Structure 1
Amino acid sequence: MSDTRRVETDPKQGSNVMSIAASEAFYCLNAGTKKHYRGAGDTPTAARERAAKEAGVTPAQAERLWKRWRTMGSVDGDVYRRLRNTYGHLCSWIENAAETMERETRGIEEANAVYQGHSPVGEGMARKARGEERAA
């Protein structure tokens, strides 16, 4: 057997097949990282560690997932479950905030709405031609 074949099939080298669970876990971790990023002066690593802590995942597990998600054969079930649950809570929090903003927007629009029909297009010009002043 040639050396290249042996290296390709070596289990220690990892596989080139991306695990769906690993990519989903990475996506959830990435969303948590974006949530915890504090802006200028903060680092993605610190934000990732805060997201991992919130999810109940150790920083080492988060770092391993962050760096190796493309080549991981699978991800630990507890890590995957915790990240998915945290991501689910993050999504529901965002959806609830969006619904609240939508309700407030509707309330403001309804309070400021004019309940009169639209005036004909030339009404302003006709009023001006007759010499009528606009009521203020």
Structure 2
Amino acid sequence: QNSLAKKFRKTGTTIVGCVAQNGTAVVIAADTRSTSGSVVADKRCEKIHELSSNVWCAGAGTSGDIDALVRRIRYNFLAKGRLKGAIGNIPTSGTADYLYPPATVEAVCHSIREELYGASGQTGANL
């Protein structure tokens, strides 16, 4: 029991999600503080991540693992969108909407599960 207590590390992240507009929208909020034990490592840490143009998630855990996982998921859907022709040429208006094609929540969840399963439990990311 003592060895389990030594391996456990509290992240202290606050993440909230609420269903809004009669179930047609979700509001996600998170704190911005990143800690390492009792030390504040970063006061402006981004914990809400865009996975596609219509799917966002909040993450808790090891920031490097979360960033790497989000990057892989995001570019996986970017590549799929380009292969299917869902994304055209880069727009000249300066918007970055072309980077993240729309995706279904089910497809994003499946992709996250596949990535985490492939890591065999070695990823400290909770989305």
Q: Same fold (TM over 0.5)?
A: no
**More RCO (CA 8 Å, sep 6+):** 1
What range is the shorter-chain TM-score in?
under 0.3
Higher strand share: 2
TM-score normalised by length of structure 2: 0.27
TM-score, normalising length: structure 1: 0.26
